[in-house]
Structure 1
Amino acid sequence: MRAHHSASDLWWLSAREAQRLIRRKRLSPVELVRACLERVQALNDTLNAYIALYAEEALREAQRLEAEAQQGAWRGPLHGIPVALKDIFATAGQPTTVGSRILRDFIPQEDAVVVHRLKEAGAILLGKLNLHEFAYGITTVNPHFGPTRNPWDTSRIPGGSSGGSAAAVASGMCPLSLGTDTGGSIRIPSALCGIVGLKPTYGRVSRRGVFPLAWSMDHAGPMARTVEDTALLLGVIAGYDPHDPGSAHRPVPNYLRNLEKGVKGMVLGVLTESALGVVDTDVETAFGEALRALEGLGAKVEEVAWPEAEGVPGAHLAILMAEASALHQRWVKERPQDYGEDVRLRLLAGLALPGTLYLKAQQVRRKATSSLLALLERVNALLLPTCPVTAPLIGAERVSIAGRSVDVRTALTRFVSPFNLTGVPALSVPWRVSHEGLPIGVQVVVKPFDETTVLQVGYALEQTAPSKGKRPPL
């Protein structure tokens, strides 16, 4: 017999809880989709997370899935669960704008591989979400679709480029989303909006049908309100794709199986204070608190050195600019007026980079990756803050960290871009809110294809986090 649920209960239901209720026929997929659509109707004018809503299609699909469930036919682990996508994933027959004017009317012929896998697993596509134009930025202040706002403080950015995804999940407009991450674009908005975001190992998740930014550093990954939901979603989208040249032929484990094993006996590495550099006081306090909590759960925390890290941000930027500009070369020359100013200037700067700089950056990358992999063999995981500051104000070009003025982009990417360059898995988990009421995230990094461990450590963090169960003041 179906239970009665208020819409507000359903906004905050995890995907795993919804999955269990739907399986027991205690919750209708139609009811769940209607609750999400009601939330979008109430909040999207303020937050501007969705740029396309598939209300009628989603309700029709929910009715089909409900009928199948009544017959005992289950498509997969996401049967009846609503999902919204960053508008960078190809959706057959529906516009995929990549947050741009240039592709505003682009309608793909087929779904991205990950979208196909979501549908096969029974997910219901609610709509497409705002992003920084062409995913080339970290604010989601989009000149064509307007800025997405942070649910914790609407005067602030949600981060980017997957800002619409983070804002939608954090505010209860959908339980699950997919983002992409080339320089922190899943983890930055996850940290700033207080949700969980995972950049998997390079090659773990297919990128076929995902509009590229920098081919050698692009990753697609899950965003959710809990680590358990992140593990559930990763299990659906991960796996080899012979048509993605970067895809890895590796088996996909059950990521849910070992979540609760804990961190007792683990060795967790922390970079030296000099390597981390200056961070906001609230972030520093929160990070120290998280480390003590993990020690209390039986982990051993020890300082580690990664001397090659110093050259990593510069190498990442050089490779990103060269690869992005190579992709956009024709459009930026023929249609410069159709780009937002920030993205246009970055693309033009990338065209002026000498090839020797790109090659030197690749040499730095090789050395940095080799030394990081050696470090990750000595510890179970590396921990650091996701971002050195909380969410900046919309329009701010600089932030103050410990009395120093720092460029926003440089600040927000500092702790995340190294793991795009090296391709290892990195997870952002919400830990607490600052004295201003803004979320602070902790980042967990592990060796390649060890997503099981990164989720295990993340789950342990989440269970002890002061921010567990906290919601934005909407």
Structure 2
Amino acid sequence: MTSKQPLCHLSAMALRTEIGAGRVSATEVVTAHLAQIETWNPRVNAIVTLDAERALAQAARADQAQASGAPLGLLHGLPIAHKDSFLTAGMRTTYGSPVYRDFIPERDSLIVTRERAAGAITLGKTNLPEFGAGSQTFNTVFGPTRNPYDLGKTAGGSSGGAAAALACGMVPLADGTDMGGSLRNPASFCNVVGLRPSAGRVPQWPTASPYNALTVAGPMARTVADVALLLAATAGPDARDPLSIEQDPRCFLGALERDFKGTRIAFAPTWGGLPTQPAVVQALDRQLAVFEALGALVDMDCPDFSGADASFQALRGQAFAVGYEMLLREKRDQLKDSVIWNIELGLQQAGSVLVQAERQRAALFARMHAFMQTHEFLIGPVSQVVPFPVEHETVHEIEGTPMHNYIDWMRSGYYLSLTGHPVISVPCGFTADGLPVGIQIVGRYRDELGVLQLARAFEQATQFWLQAPRLPD
């Protein structure tokens, strides 16, 4: 296998098999990915902190442990890059902000701890917008991350560095976070897979908002099976996260094959009337027959998302105020305008606004739950637009409809965040200009396994993930 295909183009599952069988060493795998980083990263700016020396030392220890007969972890020898909002002991963590340009934490975030305990080898950190604010990855510390399929376009965000690194073969696995679409939008823009799991599925620690169910941590990879592998390594309860789910994460390690004959799927091409570029809808329309070929029954239908906009904006503002109020007071001159706006919104909004936001979220969840009793899955576009010029900080209008703030164009993402249901972004084809488009697959409450199964079936039928970007001349 490895003689026919470069190591950095193999899936994480394939690499795991090769390493486990002794056909390739962790050191060889890490070396191949470091070479890929050297080739690709100057073009896309996805990995912003790199520690090759420490990665190679970790790989050597992994090889020694394997040679001694030690049991191998789920991620043994697999390179990984962490979003630059996760703490990494001894490695710079900037949050994409000049405030933390030189911050080196003394501890790891829980997700990093679990990845390392499973045998993953940290290569470095991936780029994000300042404090993860927005679905366009740029900041004043490192600059923008570019789309590997068109270097003039954005990779999306906020886990844009992770998505671009995966697409280029710089890493087989990456992690990220998602409040309004940050695991899904960049996956869609870069032709990779991003899973937004249920709140608490991947516990978060440390965090300023342990009861915040809007922001989740989750896995990204090039294939659905790889995402399931990383989920199995990072999920599971932890008493420091009050939302963590008491379920054995090994449930995600089984075969993902399933018969979908007679399964009811709702298709919402514009999520109930959101302005959406025709190229996005056309890409999804071309693949609807795939679900029908799987035996599923596809209906044009959509839940009622009324009240979602006001609710999300209020709850997002509250989360920013909880997390960053002191930064606003002490470092305002170093924060970007959209971050300041979100913090001030949270601090200034009336209590009645939050009361109404919680009522709207509760009503939305009830409607979503009822809807999902008649449809096991819901599908639609990840983003309302295709990747846009990297020089544009945000999307200002879609099909003539103005966007009123920097996240207005991502309603297709944050509507689903509010429902609390697991949702995945899977490659769904390309536009006439060669830009990737992703499809969102939403499952029933806490049914990540079902989501992974349908995503895997779609991926196997279409194989879009195999269309890697080409290195420009």
Question: How high is the TM-score relative to the length of structure 2?
Answer: 0.94
Q: Which moved more, 1:140-149 or 1:213-222?
A: 213-222
Query: Shift in Å at residue 408 of structure 1?
Result: 7.9
Change (3 A) 1:185 1:455: same
3-state DSSP of counterpart to 2:272: helix
Query: Shift in Å at residue 272 of structure 1?
Result: 7.5
> Which residue does the alignment assign to 1:363?
359
Which of 220, 224, 227 lines up with 1:223 in the alignment? Answer: 220
Give CA deviations for 1:414-462 in whole Å, capped at 9, x if unaligned: 1111222222101000010111111000000112221110001101111
Which of 51, 54, 59 lines up with 1:54 in the alignment? Answer: 51
Alignment of 1:74-113 (within 5 A): 74-113=71-110
Q: 2: distance between equivalents of 1:80 and 1:219?
A: 26
Gaps in structure 2 of 5+ consecutive residues: none
Query: Shift in Å at residue 382 of structure 1?
Result: 0.8
Which of 340, 345, 348 lines up with 1:344 in the alignment? Answer: 340
Q: 2: distance between equivalents of 1:408 and 1:50?
A: 28
Change (3 A) 1:402 1:423: same
> Which residue does the alignment assign to 2:446?
449
Q: 2: distance between equivalents of 1:224 and 1:165?
A: 9
Note if contact 1:194-1:441 (Cα within 8 Å) is conserved in structure 2.
yes
Note if contact 1:195-1:223 (Cα within 8 Å) is conserved in structure 2.
yes
Residue 122 (structure 1) aligned with residue 119 (structure 2): yes
Change (3 A) 1:405 1:153: farther
Residue 275 of structure 1 aligns with an amino acid whose one-letter code is G
Residue 373 (structure 1) aligned with residue 369 (structure 2): yes
Q: 1: distance between equivalents of 2:119 and 2:409?
A: 35
Change (3 A) 1:210 1:64: farther
> Which residue does the alignment assign to 1:277?
274
> Which residue does the alignment assign to 2:319?
323
Query: Shift in Å at residue 411 of structure 1?
Result: 5.3
Note if contact 1:99-1:142 (Cα within 8 Å) is conserved in structure 2.
yes
Note if contact 2:422-2:447 (Cα within 8 Å) is conserved in structure 1.
yes
Q: 2: distance between equivalents of 1:353 and 1:213?
A: 21
Query: Shift in Å at residue 253 of structure 1?
Result: 4.3
Q: 2: distance between equivalents of 1:245 and 1:106?
A: 28
Q: What number of residue pairs does the alignment pair up?
A: 470
Note if contact 1:208-1:244 (Cα within 8 Å) is conserved in structure 2.
yes
Gaps in structure 1 of 5+ consecutive residues: none
3-state DSSP of counterpart to 1:167: helix
Q: 1: distance between equivalents of 2:259 and 2:110?
A: 33
Query: Shift in Å at residue 317 of structure 1?
Result: 1.4
Query: Shift in Å at residue 273 of structure 1?
Result: 6.0
Give CA deviations for 1:147-195 in whole Å, capped at 9, x if unaligned: 1111111111111111111111111110100000011110011101110
Give CA deviations for 1:345-383 in whole Å, capped at 9, x if unaligned: 332343322222122111100100111112112221111
Give CA deviations for 1:255-289 in whole Å, capped at 9, x if unaligned: 24241214222111123868143322221112122
> Which residue does the alignment assign to 1:36?
33
Alignment of 1:180-219 (within 5 A): 180-209=177-206, 215-219=212-216
> Which residue does the alignment assign to 2:295?
298
Note if contact 1:180-1:221 (Cα within 8 Å) is conserved in structure 2.
yes
> Which residue does the alignment assign to 1:311?
307
Residue 168 (structure 1) aligned with residue 158 (structure 2): no
> Which residue does the alignment assign to 1:237?
234
Note if contact 1:263-1:456 (Cα within 8 Å) is conserved in structure 2.
no
> Which residue does the alignment assign to 2:21?
24
Give CA deviations for 1:13-45 in whole Å, capped at 9, x if unaligned: 100000000111111111110111111111212
Residue 57 of structure 2 aligns with an amino acid whose one-letter code is R
> Which residue does the alignment assign to 1:432?
429
Note if contact 2:208-2:322 (Cα within 8 Å) is conserved in structure 1.
no
Residue 392 (structure 1) aligned with residue 392 (structure 2): no
Q: 2: distance between equivalents of 1:131 and 1:268?
A: 33
> Which residue does the alignment assign to 2:136?
139
Change (3 A) 1:262 1:441: farther
Q: Cα RMSD between the aligned structures?
A: 2.1
Which of 328, 331, 336 lines up with 1:335 in the alignment? Answer: 331
Note if contact 2:137-2:161 (Cα within 8 Å) is conserved in structure 1.
yes
3-state DSSP of counterpart to 2:251: coil
Q: 2: distance between equivalents of 1:61 and 1:157?
A: 33
Q: 2: distance between equivalents of 1:465 and 1:92?
A: 40
Which of 135, 147, 157 lines up with 2:154 in the alignment? Answer: 157
Residue 453 of structure 2 aligns with an amino acid whose one-letter code is Q
Note if contact 1:89-1:211 (Cα within 8 Å) is conserved in structure 2.
no
Give CA deviations for 1:98-155 in whole Å, capped at 9, x if unaligned: 1112223333332222111111111101111111111111101112221111111111
> Which residue does the alignment assign to 1:268?
265
Note if contact 2:211-2:243 (Cα within 8 Å) is conserved in structure 1.
no
Note if contact 2:98-2:141 (Cα within 8 Å) is conserved in structure 1.
yes
Q: 2: distance between equivalents of 1:256 and 1:447?
A: 20
3-state DSSP of counterpart to 1:459: helix
Which of 415, 424, 443 lines up with 1:418 in the alignment? Answer: 415
Identity %: 36
Note if contact 1:399-1:405 (Cα within 8 Å) is conserved in structure 2.
yes
Residue 353 of structure 1 aligns with an amino acid whose one-letter code is Q
Q: Which moved more, 1:86-95 or 1:220-229?
A: 86-95
Change (3 A) 1:316 1:126: same
Q: 1: distance between equivalents of 2:2 and 2:461?
A: 31
Q: Which moved more, 1:387-396 or 1:402-411?
A: 402-411
